[in-house]
Amino acid sequence: MNNLSRLNLIQKLGGFASSLFLVNSLEELALSIENIVEELIPTEYTGLYLYDYDFKKLKLFYAKGFKAEEVVNADKSAMDRHPGYVFKTKKVLDIPDTDLDNEISIDSPRSFKVGSRLYMPVMNQQECVGTIGVVSIQKNRFNAEDKEILFFICNLTGLTYSKILINKQKQVIEEELKLKERAIAFSNSGIIITDASIDDNPIKYVNAAFEKITGYRFDEVVGKNCRFLQSDEKGVKFAGYFGNDWSVEKGEFIIQ
């Protein structure tokens, strides 16, 4: 690594950790990893692989030292090479001299001769979510301090990656809920939603079509059980009407 003082190193790692709180996208995460690794463990080649849950594969999000065709090959074959071995086993792969490599996995063609490799799993608690690798043309390039630095970076990367995925899932769910809310609100059928978790299933929502069909406003029916609709009040009679449309489990039914 660079010849940094202990205080300077701690400050840089602390700044990196703090910056990840503001990271909201995979692109921002990859850039943060690129910057900190380049500053603290500069090598000829660096790769950030994160697991793509949709395609069930490691995806290369950041690469230094690759030619265009090497990027394509490395991304396609990641699971069959050193990154995949580390991902599957959750083990650190430290090869100080590639001439002594025991061929754990198939290497991809390089535009330079590799001297040493260091790959570490990106962990989110007990789950491996990716791999970070640093490779040098020098043999015995990485010392104990480099490994501790990369270990620190990997752990924060795993937590941040998982946070980004969770936030994306929340956004998808929120968008789906908004679509459903709009569909219910503007439906031509009267829709009632009750709270099935409470005794007597009190009404907690009715849409505009319900108000138009029945003549009841939301503030008049909220908290009531739907049985009141079987009365003659306001000249409305719905006795025995809800049998096919009523769902106690879901707490909703439709008036057409």
- In this predicted structure, what is the pLDDT of residue 3? 63
Residue 186: phi and psi, rounded to 5, are -105, 10
* Residue count of the chain: 256
* Token couple for 255: 């008036």
pLDDT digits (tens, 9 = 90+) for 14-44: 999 999 999 999 999 999 999 999 999 999 9
Distance set, CA 225 to CA 180, 206, 216, 219 (Å): 24, 12, 14, 13
Sign of the Cα torsion 203, 205, 210, 211 reads positive
Rounded distance between C-alpha atoms, residue 87 and residue 78, angstroms: 10
pLDDT digits (tens, 9 = 90+) for 51-78: 999 999 999 999 998 888 889 999 999 9
- Domains present along the chain, CATH in parentheses: 6-167 (3.30.450.40), 184-255 (3.30.450.20)
Residue 157 has pLDDT above 90, yes or no: yes
Q: Which of 167, 142, 156 is nearest to 48 (CA)?
A: 156
pTM: 0.72
